[in-house]
Structure 1
């Protein structure tokens, strides 16, 4: 395809997002029409092998037919697997976990719009990734107002090359984004393109009073929500979830530990369960469960006597295993904390309060803690 074709493709993408109500303001529409997403995908991306279990991936590179059109599809494109592997490294298929991607444009645009950027704002981006979001920010604000932190040196290097190709030169920092970047603080806006278990207070400290933090709060049960927080003059950040079931890869320092050897699931104490494991199928309920057991991981085991649902807090050593017998669920628990007791208590209290939607929850970040609450009846 020609350069004219790529211009037409990004204009068409911008128009589709505007028609869907996601691209709401002229400056971001102009940025999306101007910044070539395909330049940030020159190294190719990984395509999921349909029907594969466990999930397998194969590389798609610029020489492949349809590559350019795919760059302007409204979808996330995996760009790195297993922490180091890029499309050029693979011939055939690979079955490992994705570790970096180019976020779907509708989510990129939604977050930029929800950040309420104004002319002259200094922005810290946590998670440079391919650099596409950084390029949009540079186009909107100017290079000197954009700082982006990336934990992976090679990912940062590739992003810097792509940005330079497009004529953008933001401040790119290699480091732990959870620490922010104090040297060029304070910032008017901070946006994280990775999921976090807790909003680091360093982000609040590095954001001006009245400034906005946009971050996706997640847990190891993998329900997550986008929060917009405003920093107060007292150093406390307040805000709410914006809704929409936003999902990002977790920040690498906050990835869950491996399961290792499972506990003896026949030990512990058994009782009838007030709630069964199917409650975790619901996104909102699973998020509430995470508030009660933020370090729990879920594993479904298919055994000769049926499927057992195991929740394990590897670090604490607490666990719960749920099994169904007809209409009745039972739970067996062990370790220092009765994990499923806490989950049931939290979920039943939420239901008593009318099961309010997540966009009604309130988030507060203080120097001591993160607090998430829902309205009561």
Structure 2
């Protein structure tokens, strides 16, 4: 697929790539060419925009249709802007959406923000001729980019939502990249596909599903988000299968991660805000200044060694709550005191984890044992007595639901999304 950068959309893709390069995010030449050549507007023909403020229910949305002149400029800006593009509300069908104001519901499918997509695909070290498997591809943006790098008929995605799977496959077919999306449960892998050189999960999981490990080829790389009960401190796990067939897995703390699998319930500090503002807590001395946000190794350890905590990133001061215990702590940089409230001394637990993290050598990355065929997955920062250690939660507590079947009928509607012929003409297939 050749890149035509003379068109308005081509110019926007070029500007997007320039931003990623200027920020030091994009370094891979092959991925750069894929980003320039894949018309992402075909994969993202509409987007929701949130109108109401965070925490307000029901949520007020506006649905933009890229085919409509009144929406097109804003839609193109969002599609190439680098942030997530919101596509599906409450599991709805995607071929009969009416643009304009919409009330209520929550997003159930979206594209990944641009930097995360680039980071993931570069970490996987994609190359020509590799077999690529993606779990939770959503609208197929990263799947299309992978297919542009690996070559046709080598990239496949497993999508639980049949409406999203059909939507993505339709749009991918228009690109002529030879990428395929199948409806299924990601936890089961894609056994019919055999083994893959690169496996990427667009959903967060508490531990690595055994089916994924089984499908990783010799020399292969697997990348996923490790999700905990808190959305505040995600981890990114990279597993490789060595030439000897062994699995080596390394998790690192990250500033952002993929959303957790369906049914996984995050802790939420938002409902506690009124009380935390009215009762900021009792001041007490602290031996721990608020740790920096980029101390990712510490925050990842805290997610497991001080479980049940969640940070309110919208608060002016560092605010960390334990919703299940009705407790919280509020800290201010540069002050020698911290305010605590409730039966659980949240800040004391963080002080303890931080001290242990420092004694362990301030690790940024950890090691995970991933047994073949399943079993507990143990995490450690090292082998000494001071090493930080924990066990990843199993998959069992997460509701395991069957896939939604792909829709078989098209339901037309007024101003249906994606009917613009400018967005449906397939480009020249890759050579």
Indicate the TM-score class for this superposition, using the shorter chain for normalisation.
Answer: 0.7 to 0.9
Q: Which residue of 1 aligns with 2:366?
A: 361
Q: Note the alpha carbon deviations across 1:112-163, whole angstroms, 9 max, x for none.
A: 1110122221111111211111111121112321121001000111000110
SS in 1 for 2:97: helix
Instruction: Choose the corresponding residue for 1:374, options 381, 384, 405.
Output: 381
User: In the alignment, is residue 61 of structure 1 matched against residue 65 of structure 2?
Assistant: yes
Which structure has more relative contact order (CA 8 Å, sep 6+)? It is 2
Q: Offset at 1:191? A: 0.6
Q: Which residue of 1 aligns with 2:255?
A: 245
Give me the whole-angstrom Cα distance separating, in 1, the residues matched to 2:87 and 2:350.
36
Match of 1:332 in 2: 343
1:77 Cα offset (Å): 1.2
SS in 1 for 2:369: strand
Cα RMSD for the two superposed structures: 3.7
Q: Secondary structure at the match of 2:13?
A: helix
Of residues 205, 226, 230, the one that matches 1:217 is 226
Q: 1 or 2, which has the higher strand percentage?
A: 1
Alignment match, 2:423: none
- 2:136 aligns to what? 127
TM-score (norm 2): 0.69
Pairwise CA distance, 1:242 = 5.4
**Structure 2 Cα separation of the partners of residues 103 and 323 of structure 1:** 32
Q: Would you say the 8 A contact 1:192–1:214 is kept in 2?
A: yes
Deviating more after overlay: 202-211 vs 94-103 = 94-103
TM-score w.r.t. the length of structure 1 is 0.77
Distance 1:102 1:177, change over 3 A: same
Give the match's secondary structure for 2:239: strand
The residue correspondences of 1:1-377 to structure 2 (distance < 5 A) are 4-42=7-45, 44-49=46-51, 51-54=53-56, 56-62=60-66, 63=68, 64-66=71-73, 67-84=75-92, 88-89=97-98, 91-222=100-231, 223-232=233-242, 236-241=246-251, 244-256=254-266, 282=293, 284=296, 285-292=298-305, 296=308, 298=310, 309-312=321-324, 319=325, 321-322=327-328, 327=338, 329=340, 331-332=342-343, 346-356=353-363, 358=364, 360-366=365-371, 367-375=374-382, 376=386
Evaluate the alpha carbon distance shift between residue 276 and residue 149 of structure 1 in structure 2; reply closer, same or farther with a 3 A threshold. Answer: farther
Deviates more, 1:84-93 or 1:4-13: 84-93
Distance in structure 2 (CA, Å) of the matches to 1:220 and 1:156: 27
Q: Which runs of 5+ in 2 are unaligned?
A: 273-282, 313-318, 331-336, 388-431
Secondary structure (helix, strand or coil) at the match of 2:236 reads strand
The alignment partner of 1:73 has SS state of: coil
Query: Does the C-alpha gap of structure 1 residues 153 and 251 become closer, same or farther in structure 2, counting only changes over 3 Å?
Result: same
Q: Distance in 2 between matches of 1:21 and 1:192?
A: 24
